[in-house]
Amino acid sequence: MAEARAFFRRRGRITILDRIAGRSLDGGMQDTDHLNDRVSDAPSDNWVYRILPPWLWPYAQLARWDRPIGWQLLMWPCFWSATLAANAAIGQGLYSGSLLVAHLFLYFIGAVAMRGAGCTYNDLVDHEIDMEVARTRSRPLPSGRVTRARAKIFIGLQALVGLFVLLQFNWFTVFLGVLSLGIVALYPYAKRFTDWPQFYLGLAFSWGALMGWAGILGGISFASVLLYAASVAWTIGYDTIYAHQDKEDDELIGVRSTARLFGDRTRIWLIGLYGLTLVLMFMAFALAGANLIAFLALLGAAGMFAWQIVRLDIEDAAQCLALFKSNNRVGLIIFFGLFVSLLFAIP
């Protein structure tokens, strides 16, 4: 470890090993007292710390309640699919506004619960890796503020909430939801055996693109499959940007990612991935009978994708995080377009 630390110091970099040793750039010791009840990669003034009692903070951190971007990105494919299915249902004489609103509420609750359960599970699997990465070593498990046994109980509680939500849908949608668990279970291990863990994340995070359609219409269609594929491509794109924050630590400890795979070609890959997202969504919208407003929203999303690609600096971790988070606005504008399209289509 000392040799590795000396090597990176000669290159003028502060690394994970320096942070583990508690050293700052000027060689002095850091004051890490503020990390006793916080995590380093989330705002310390979040509502979690203002409203919840301190004994709940580590569990909120495990579930990432202090970082809503995760459940937001999980939720949008559900919202897109349900609203697109509602557009298609109008043409089939099956539209129900109250059903759509109820489903959107359920997907919101389910996204928060299952994202929390998934993050807790991921932290259990990555416990030792997180101890070796500067950005993650202040999380509840590697910092010792929550035991593995309690984390497992917390997963169970969140999964019960997710199960309650799932059982409100038709049985085909319940079946789809159960199928997703295999992908969710596999994802944390993907970074150990493939350079494409973001693809596996996409498979899991985009599953709502199938479930939203099934919840409204009782099955899946080619339009929903296209929307699912578009969501997978979108996820690979934005999570590649996110992974650039950790690429030096990942290289040091042998964790694989598309950020490391793409390297300096990331911008070119993003053009392809985001372009594929737009093409597949265009096709899905057309097949489902969405009107012009939905396509205009897709044009707005294209502009936001272009902005991300132009602005991207893969060596600037703070900017990578900001660009990653901007994908919440991409999800919102696409949903807004589909929802307004629906309002104009209602007889």
Residues 76/82/88/90 CA torsion (nearest 10 deg): -130
- Tell the residue number behind the tokens 């995070």, with chain if given: 205
Distance, CA of 150 to CA of 172 (rounded, Å): 33
Cβ pair 107, 82 in contact under 8 A = yes
Cβ pair 249, 16 in contact under 8 A = yes
Q: Which residue, among 214, 180, 220, has the nearest Cα to 74 in the 3D structure? A: 180
> Is 48 in a helix, a strand, or coil?
helix
> Is 38 in a helix, a strand, or coil?
coil
> Is 273 in a helix, a strand, or coil?
helix
Distance, CA of 180 to CA of 118 (rounded, Å): 12
Each of the 347 residues of the chain gets a pLDDT tens digit; together they read 344 433 333 333 333 333 333 333 333 333 344 445 777 656 667 788 889 998 998 999 899 998 999 999 999 999 999 999 999 999 888 999 999 999 999 999 999 999 999 999 989 988 888 787 777 888 888 888 989 999 999 999 999 999 999 999 999 999 999 999 999 999 999 999 999 999 999 999 999 999 999 999 999 999 999 999 999 999 999 999 999 998 888 888 888 999 999 999 999 999 999 999 999 999 999 999 999 999 999 999 999 999 999 999 999 999 999 999 999 999 999 999 999 999 999 88
Q: Which residue, among 276, 195, 206, has the nearest Cα to 235 in the 3D structure? A: 206
Q: Tell me the whole-structure pTM to 2 decimals.
A: 0.86
Residue 271 buriedness (CB in 10 A; 0-12 / 13-18 / 19+): middle
Identify the bridge partners of residue 23 per DSSP, sorted by sequence position. Answer: 29
DSSP letter assigned to residue 317? H
Residues 225/231/235/237 CA torsion (nearest 10 deg): 110
Distance, CA of 49 to CA of 28 (rounded, Å): 29
Residue 289 buriedness (CB in 10 A; 0-12 / 13-18 / 19+): middle
- Tell the residue number behind the tokens 């509502």, with chain if given: 47
Map out the domains of the chain as residue ranges.
31-38+64-103+166-345
Angle, to 10 degrees, between the axis of helix 266-288 and the axis of helix 222-243? Answer: 160
The dihedral through the CA atoms of 201, 105, 342, 216 has a sign that is positive
Residue 93 buriedness (CB in 10 A; 0-12 / 13-18 / 19+): exposed
Distance, CA of 106 to CA of 165 (rounded, Å): 6
Identify the bridge partners of residue 29 per DSSP, sorted by sequence position. Answer: 23
Distance, CA of 235 to CA of 242 (rounded, Å): 10
